Structure 1
Amino acid sequence: MAKLPVLLRMLQSYLRFLKFFLLLVGTAILCIFSSPTLATFSHISLNIPQTKIQNSPVLDKSFVEQGKALYEAGLFTEALQVLEQAAIGFHNTGDKLNQAIVLSNLALIYQQLGKQTQAELAISQSLNLLKNLDSSKERAAIIAQSLDVQGKLQLAQGQTEIALSTWQKAADIYEQIGDKATLTRNRINSAQAMQALGLYRQAQKTLTEVQQNLTTLPDSSLKVAGLDSLGNVLRVIGDFNESRKVLKQSLTLATALNSSIAIGDSFLSLGNTAFAEAKTQHEVGNTDLAQQEVQAALNFYQQAARNTLGTTRIQAQLNQLNLLLEFFSKKEAANTFKQALSLSEQILAEINKLVPSRNSIYARIQFASILMDLTQKTDAPILSNLNIAQLLSTAIQEAQSLKDQQAQSYALGTLGRLYEKNKQLGDALELTTKALFIAQSIDASDILYQWQWQQGRLLKQQGNLNAALKAYDTAYKTLESLRGDLVATNLDVQFSFRESVEPIYRELVELQLLTENTQGNQQSSQYNLKQARKVIESLQVAELNNFFRSPCLEPVVEIDKVVEQDKKAAVIYSVILPDRFDVILTLPNQQLQHYTTKIPQEKVESTVTSLRKSLTDVAGTYEVKEQSQKIYDWLIRPAETELVKSGITTLVFVLDGELRNIPMGVLYDPQQNKYLIEKYAIALTPGLQLFNPKPLQKVQLNALTAGVGEARSIGGQKFSALKNVARELKEIQTEVPRSEELLNQQFVDSNLQKQLLATPFSIIHLATHGEFSSDPEKTFLLTWNKLLKVKEFDSLLRVSDRNRSGKIELLVLSACKTALGDQRAALGLAGIAVRAGARSTLASLWSVDDQWTAKLMSEFYRNLNTGISKAQALQRAQLSVFAKQKSPYFWAPYVLVGNWL
């Protein structure tokens, strides 16, 4: 590939002076062609100099509307200048009300320019001015709108709970003055904050109220915007069906109002929802459904482009191009290239018509990014590297002239990525460093980690592993600091988690293991291994947060404190890397150990897939042994001697990737002719930090048992009868006499909630159909009358928290299964296990003849009453079935997640 011309290097000297323009500022929300709406005239304010302006323009509504128009066009610096003059003018004339209005709108502009300190000062001044004015309905409305702006600033800073409280104050005012329209917009903002906090029930309740309020409002552009915002929020929280329904209402109303802009926005949002669902369906293996959604998204984007002009049209075309990239097929390469070429020519023509603004800058950056990735997939350039570089050079120049530091950082970093792809590593590193410096200066952590990651990649390619490790570690720490805010600051990150977040963790672990012992001493080796173990744990938490589309999980205990609790347990961490299989072994009171098997990732994954398929075949015992012994050799064989020497009786696995979809008990040792379950009790955990293992409480156990034994047909799905469910529940009651039962018609969520509120049960046992999926909307348990989704189930279990002194000791989900074809389905099981608030969860990875399930469960509870650990009780129960049924199909699917003691 030819190097980019020397002329482009001149950019570097041109860019060197950029740092002198940097100001101390804060984080702003970055979404292409999406920015907060300015308050209407009569609701704004800022830190105003106490001097008069010469030749001050006439201060009327049209002057302030000019600032609003500039803001909405993305010309933030020009809008700032106009509104600052307006604020000074209102100050000099003593018009405190309009000064307060201007200040609140200036706060939004400061935020967009990354000037968080000035934004906070402006909104504070706005509210202080309003305190000293006489009470009136107009004053109250302005206070509420200033509070709305303050809430947006707080959310962008990651202060989600504070933002929620601020918006509630504004909502109370809107209620008092009867402003239903603005209250609706306020509640949508609150719902976003709630879902960022993981408060799904509250968010859903708020959104339901929003829908009801919208129906009472007269048809207007505000109602269209409200429906559009609601549809977008519903997409973000994963409710694609409801999102589509609401957005179609928005489209219908926009059409009735004959608003071409609103029609275009509605089509664009519908396309984004279809795109998001297509990605989700593709990830879980529903290829046909994914393809349907791809076609739907394509149609919506084409409609959006036809029905509007300007930035919405360009965004629709860019999203359409991105869609081609995301679902690129080698079979359709020629057709894809033809479509992409035609679309790219249209986009380039449209972008060149835009006046310089944040919109035009981000359009160029996004276009350049898509072209880079598409070129890599099609092996044929849509535009040359020089053309792409020129796009980004223009973006840099526009960002510098507008003094838009965030846009500068994005443009510089993206140009650095282009140099990286062209193997011009020195130039790439210099540009990346400049982008990083700007992001640091404006405290934009949500983009900072991207440039830290890029810097690490470049240093690694240059062979500077120690410097690369430091860069990756910094990116990791930035991500960890964002754990609670990443969803709030970038609502689309969940849909690109595997591309833009997960690789940072994996590549850092790879570097830590590569440099484990480069200094040649045990101390540095142990430090690197401990750090790698910590990052693996953090990745597990990040994956689960992404699964729930919420930063809802945080570590509760340090790893080493957990390991110290059981002197007979070893913890095994697996890491699947592109060219090898790594394992970190934690033994009681010993140094960490690390071993590696050189093997391509594709072979590991194909072996796991074959094993998973064989396990669900009653007659597949030979194939199970053949495949599982390979995994035994990678995962267990190198540690055998140490496990025996240390007297280990329990293995606790922190598994990576597709390994989570198979039970470790089936791993076969041909030398001893034994499965792993014959040698060890086994437990799984998505991360030791998420659980604090404790022995089963020395109190008499009590259980809530529930199940559906009859055939059911719900939600378009048919579920076969489980004839032995009644027997299973009766046998549990024999072993745990203090039990309550909800069978068939009695097993509905209202009865479950009633029982949980009445009694703090130590065991909850549910014998019913269920499915674990990497999509939370498809992770459910069957009750008599509905599919109880994971988020609803989580809320039901937690209603009893205030009545109990400790956690649920054990949650049992028998007759469940992982979704076929979903490589990450076990995330659903891990999600239920962690969010249920139970110390331990016992579940099945595939449905088994419920006669054998009933026998195994009865044996499990009988063993549990003898005082042994839960892992040992499960081991003995599985071996009791194994003695009668050698096929792993019958005894292997049961896994214990969480506390093994």
Structure 2
Amino acid sequence: MHKLKLSRKFKIAAINLVLFTLTFSLIIIPITIAKQPEPTNTQTTITQATPEQLQATAEHLFKAGRLTDAVTTLQQVIQIYKQSGNTLGQAAAQINLSLALEQLGSWKQASVAINTSLNLLGWDNANNTLKANNPELELLKVLAPTLDILTGQQLRQGQSDAANETAKHAQIYWRQLGDNTAVLRSRINQAQALRVSGFNRRAENILESVFQELQNQPDSFIKVGALRSLGNVQQQLGELDKSQKSLQHSLEIAQRLQLSEEISLTELSLGNTARLIGNINNAVTHYQNAAKTAPNPLLKVQAQINQLNLLVNNQRITEARTLIPVIQSQLPNLPANQASIYARINFASTIMKIADKKDTASILAVGVQQASSINDPRALSYALGTLAEVYEQNQQWQEALNLNKQAWSKSQDINAPDIAYRWEWQLGRIFKEQNNITEAIKAYDASIETLSNFRTDLAGVNREIQFNFRDSVEPIYRQSVELLLQEKGQSKPDLDKVRKRMEALQLAELDNYFREACLNNQFVALDKVVDNKNPDTAILYPIILDNQLGVILKLPGQSSLIHKASAISSKEVEQVIAQMRDNIVEPDEIQKFQAASKQLYKWLIKPIEAEINNSKNKIKTLVFIPDGSLRNIPMAALYDEISKKYLVQKYAIAISPGLQLFTPKPLARQKLNALAGGLSQPPKPFKSLPYVGEELKSIQKAGVTTVTLYNDKFKSKILEQTINAQPFRVVHLATHGKFSSKASETFILASDKRIYVAELNELLKSRERSRTEPIELLVLSACETAAGDKRAALGLAGIALRAGARSTLASLWQIGDESTERFINQFYHHLTKGKSTAEALQLAQLNLLESDKFNRPLSWAPYVLIGNWL
């Protein structure tokens, strides 16, 4: 192994660095210096620069990426205006100072600067109003763009609700100024805020409205940007065909106007959409076009790095190696500014595993030098952090440790938790390699603590970062658990800490899934539910690690937890899970299915079976908190080859997303009422569901008062109106749906359109405004998990969570025959007779299992209960 030798005195920081592809969108608030008002009573001399001259200097420094010098110059401008009593001049300069500080990563100082500007302008932050009743137009000319810039900063800091309100106020003042173009720009800002909040459909509606206003106007820069922003929102909604159409329209206008930069940016967005569609060759073409039309070397290199990343991720290594020297040869021509430093780091991060480490280190070394020369602490951190990773991969532990120490210190200096957690993780990895388990655990603990402290900002933080959850967050939790379970000392491993760590991982997964912190309801610890009110229930927590499959068992009334593990690789576990999931839906593959099911029973249930059987209270219900792809299989179908019984023949079974339960209480079975919607004749290309009509009737036959929306009546708007009209305890939807690991591909089907998970949330949020009681049970009886998607059940958990329902009953695959009608009738029959939700599910499944016609797992096993089982 070749040792890397580079000059040092470095300091660090990082996250998976910018993949310009997935984070590129319409820059609604351009990072440019705001226009200064004309000076009043400013005295100048030959030897002293005027504020206008200093302002021009600051703008030049800003655009050149010399941000620290720009800050110093703007501070001089502020002092001059302050001495002359020019309040508007101070306010405008403070806005520009805020922009420069934000680019430096000094978020708190940037916030102070923009708040100072607003105070100077007479803005009441507490009430979001202007103190002056009849403000002069000159003041509004500064206030309106200030609010635009504040909107952008709030968005970049994850404060989407505040950004939405700020954008509304900006629109008011732009209208007073008669600037319709600026009004439209602020509406685009508002759409961006709604998108980040998860209100993608509202965002789409605003952008479509903006485009309608622009449609009959001449081609313009803002029309190009509005269409590109619309295309990007449609991309997030999973409406990829619409996205492609909007982006293509944006591109055509940009080409007519010969706006080279806009052409390049829109080609990038088209590449993103093609990438999501799965058309890799088309995506490569768009990235190549983006590079060809880029008006400056930096944008060209950024586009080529996007292309390189795509090639590497799709294992097209030969093509990637051809592109590497093309990019590398252009790096010396880039200006020494923040964007080019990030480009270097992105390039190095992409090629780290396939290129010579000396070359990678040299590229990063230049980035370190440039970041240091322009005094950009955030860029310096990224460059140094990635360089530390090169040393780590080369097993030069001391060099990596030295860089890591400096890196973490730098992240603390600029109060950047989004960077700090990476270095704490890196430190833990290095200690682990040195077999210093105690210090490794401390470092991992610190990293996870940092992550948890800023989880509400996880989705919105730092647009210069590609936040890759699978690479950048999940491994921290799993590696930490491995360390905790192998910890040696006087006592056994802290199993409660292990459980909570895995729960934190699942919570982080859902946050990442929705791109926002998503658990804000009142929750009760599962242990308390079991210990206090449900002594016949046990909790099982399977954990998949690299070299073992473990189970933690919580028995009622016992404070100590039980841990058992099987020495088996995660790869083999995944193979058996896939075998069970693939074959359970194949009527002729029952033997292959049972072989996998038996194996999983041996790994998950057999090691703790004696403890369950010997519990002080007879256990009737098992609550699983499954890990990873275990969510994709029905635990009810695990098969015991000794007793020749499926697990459901022994226990009622439920799934919980974590160690906490949303306000658990038994379903109110008296006067049970339901909103039942369904499609037997869905629009093409979906197949008909001929038994849906009978299924909906069977709910009424079971004694449930029902309002039914069937076929043409099952429209999204009617669903929203009906669900708000009455306090339904149950919402039952018998329609096509898909659960996917991507929120943009998770939906249920109404007769007029797909209702995506984000829109379902919006629909149900409107219910929360008019109804205080939650939906107690959401039933999705004809849905399925995405084929080949190991994390598809994350979409099911997402829908369950977004619905705000105490319980969700859903199918993991679609059956489409009369067994569903029979199952549903039995389920509601037992519910109305006083059985718990888990017992009603168990009895309905047993009714099918014990029949001659529907005894195969294909028919009875797909149904899973998530959440409250009482």
Q: Same fold (TM over 0.5)?
A: yes
| Runs (5+) with no aligned partner, structure 1 | 278-288, 330-335, 376-380
Q: Counterpart of 2:459 in 1: which secondary structure? A: helix
Aligned to 2:715: 748
User: How far 1:222 sits from its partner (Å)?
Assistant: 4.1
Describe the shift of the 1:770–1:113 C-alpha distance in structure 2 as closer, same or farther (beyond 3 A): closer
Q: Does the 8 A contact of 1:44 with 1:102 survive in 2?
A: no
The letter of the residue matching 1:408 is L
- Determine whether 1:64 maps to 2:55: yes
Counterpart of 2:289?
303
Which piece of structure 1 moves more, 818-827 or 607-616? 818-827
Residue of structure 1 equivalent to 2:267: 267
Does the alignment pair 1:406 with 2:378?
yes
> SS where residue 672 of structure 1 aligns?
coil
Give 3-state SS (helix, strand or coil) of 1:808's partner: coil
Matched residue, 2:629: 658
Worse-superposed segment, 163-172 or 207-216: 207-216
| Whole-Å separation in 2 of the counterparts to 1:442 and 1:800 | 42
The answer to whether the aligner puts 1:391 opposite 2:363 as a matched pair is yes
Measured in 1, the distance between the counterparts of 2:632 and 2:711 equals 29
Is the contact made by 1:537 and 1:688 (CA closer than 8 Å) also made in structure 2?
A: yes
1:443 alignment partner, one of 406, 411, 415: 415
Q: Following TM superposition, by how much is the alpha carbon of 1:217 offset from its aligned partner in structure 2, in angstroms?
A: 5.6
TM superposition shift of 1:316: 0.7
Q: Which residue of 1 is the match for residue 518 of structure 2?
A: 552
- The equivalent position to 2:347 in structure 1, one of 359, 367, 384, is 367
2:433 equivalent to 1:464: no
Counterpart residue type for residue 897 of structure 1: I
1:878 maps to amino acid: Q
Correspondence for 2:455 among 476, 483, 501? 483
AA partner of residue 701 (structure 1): L
Aligned to 2:857: 888
Distance 2:92 2:437 in 1: 53
Query: In the TM superposition, what whole-angstrom CA distance separates every residue of 1:569-589 from its partner, at most 9, and x where no partner exists?
Result: 111111111111111111112
Contact 1:769/1:815 (<8 A) preserved: yes
Alignment of 1:286-325 (within 5 A): 290=278, 292=279, 294-308=280-294, 309-325=296-312
Among 748, 765, 781, the alignment partner of 2:748 is: 781
1:43 offset after TM fit, Å? 4.8
Contact 2:670–2:832 (CA<8 Å) still a contact in 1? no
Pairing 1:772-811 to 2, within 5 Å after superposition: 772-811=739-778
- Which residue of the other structure, out of 606, 620, 638, is the alignment partner of 1:667? 638
Deviation of 1:755 (Å) = 2.3
| Contact kept? 1:44, 1:126, Cα under 8 Å | no
Secondary structure in 1 matching 2:556:
coil
* 1:107 is the counterpart of 2:98: yes
Cα separation, partners in 2 of 1:780 and 1:141, compared to 1, 3 Å: same
Q: CA contact under 8 A between 1:708 and 1:784: conserved in structure 2?
A: yes
1:880, distance to aligned residue in structure 2 (A): 1.1
Task: Check conservation: 2:151, 2:164, Cα contact below 8 A.
Answer: yes
Asked if 1:171 corresponds to 2:171, the answer is yes
Aligned to 2:126: none
Residue in structure 2 matched with residue 343 of structure 1 by the alignment: 323
> Following the alignment from structure 1 to structure 2, what is the Cα–Cα distance between the partners of residues 72 and 234?
32
Does 1:42 pair with 2:35? yes
Quick check: 489-498 or 608-617, which moved more? 489-498
Give 1:420 shift: 0.5
Residue identity opposite 2:384 in structure 1: L
8 Å Cα contact 2:199-2:758 kept in structure 1:
no
* Residues 9-68 of structure 1: per-residue CA shift (max 9 Å, x gap): x41xx33xx69xx9xxxx9x98869886245653589xxxx99998223444x7634433
Question: Match of 1:452, SS?
Answer: helix
Instruction: Give the 3-state SS of the residue equivalent to 2:352 in structure 1.
Output: helix
> What amino acid is the match of 1:629?
K
Partners of 1:473 and 1:822 lie apart in 2 by 31
Distance 2:237 2:185 in 1: 17
1:582 is aligned, of 520, 543, 550, to 550
In 1, Cα distance between equivalents of 2:18 and 2:585: 46
Q: Deviations over 1:141-183 (max 9, x none)?
A: 2101112223344444444433333333222212332322223
Tell me how far apart the structure 2 counterparts of residues 612 and 109 of structure 1 sit (CA, whole Å).
Answer: 53
Q: Which of 530, 537, 541 is the equivalent residue of 1:569?
A: 537
Deviation at 1:407, TM superposition (A): 1.0
Alpha-carbon distance change, 707 to 243 in structure 1, aligned in 2, over 3 angstroms: closer
Write the letter of the residue equivalent to 2:261.
Answer: I
Counterpart residue number, 1:354: 334
Q: Which amino acid aligns with 1:357?
A: N
Secondary structure, counterpart of 1:793 in structure 2: helix
Q: Which moved more, 1:200-209 or 1:465-474?
A: 200-209
- Aligned CA distance change for structure 1 residues 746 and 127 (closer, same or farther; 3 Å): closer
Letter in 2 for 1:369: S
1:455 to 420, 427, 437: 427
In structure 2, give the amino acid aligned to 1:173: Y
Partner of 1:727: 694
Deviation at 1:504, TM superposition (A): 1.6
Instruction: Give the secondary structure class of the aligned counterpart of 1:536.
Output: helix
The 5-angstrom pairing of residues 220-231 of structure 1 reads 220-231=220-231
What is aligned with 2:600?
A: 631
1-structure distance, mates of 2:222, 2:93: 21
Partner AA of 1:367 in structure 2? F
Deviates more, 1:670-679 or 1:885-894: 885-894
CA distance in 1, matches of 2:257, 2:54: 28
What secondary structure is seen at the aligned counterpart in 2 of 1:543?
helix
SS at match of 2:508: helix
SS in 1 for 2:489: coil
CA contact (8 A) 1:840 1:897 kept: yes
Higher relative CO (Cα under 8 Å, sequence separation at least 6) belongs to 2
Residue type at the aligned position of 1:321? L
SS at match of 1:713: coil
Structure 2 counterpart of 1:521:
491
Deviation per CA, 1:437-460: give whole Å up to 9, x if none: 111111111222121111111111
Paired residue secondary structure (1:573): strand
SS in 1 for 2:523: coil
**Is this contact kept in 1: 2:667–2:776, CA < 8 A?**
yes
Q: Which residue of 1 aligns with 2:809?
A: 842
1:91 Cα deviation (Å)? 4.1
* In 2, Cα distance between equivalents of 1:671 and 1:566: 29
Query: What are the Cα deviations for residues 477-525 of structure 1, in whole angstroms up to 9, with x where unaligned?
Result: 222222211111145878622111222222222222222xx22325xx3
Contact kept, 8 Å, 1:562 with 1:688, in 2: the verdict is no
Q: 1:506 aligns with which of 446, 463, 478?
A: 478
Q: What is the TM-score normalised by the length of structure 2?
A: 0.91
CA distance in 2: counterparts of 1:859 and 1:624, whole angstroms = 26
What is residue 281 of structure 1 aligned with on the other side? Answer: none
- Write the distance in 1 (CA, Å) between the matches of 2:692 and 2:265: 51
Determine the structure 2 residue equivalent to 1:598: 567
The question of whether the paired residues in 2 share the 8 Å contact of 1:44 and 1:105 is answered with no
Rounded to whole Å, the distance in 2 between the matches of 1:469 and 1:52 is: 61
Q: 1:285 corresponds to which residue? A: none
1:327: Cα distance to partner?
0.7
Amino acid at match of 2:648: I
Q: Secondary structure at the match of 1:541?
A: helix
Q: Is the 8 A contact 2:746 2:795 kept in 1?
A: yes
Match of 2:674 in 1: 703
**Residue aligning to 1:679:** 650
Q: Do the aligned partners of residues 854 and 323 (structure 1) sit closer, same or farther apart at CA in structure 2, a change above 3 Å counting?
A: same
Alpha-carbon shift at residue 849 of structure 1 (Å): 4.5
Q: Is the 8 A contact 2:19 2:306 kept in 1?
A: no
Q: What one-letter code is carried by the residue in structure 2 that aligns with 1:121?
A: V
Q: Secondary structure at the match of 1:694?
A: coil
Partner AA of 2:495 in structure 1: L
Aligned partner letter, 2:407: A
Alignment of 1:858-877 (within 5 A): 858-877=825-844
Measured in 2, the distance between the counterparts of 1:792 and 1:359 equals 35
Return the offset for 1:618: 2.0
CA shift, 1:93, in A, is: 4.8
Q: 1:782 to 1:401 in 2, by over 3 A?
A: closer
Structure 1 residue 678, shift from structure 2 partner: 0.5
Match of 1:640 in 2: 609
Contact residue 44 and residue 106 of structure 1 kept, 8 A: no
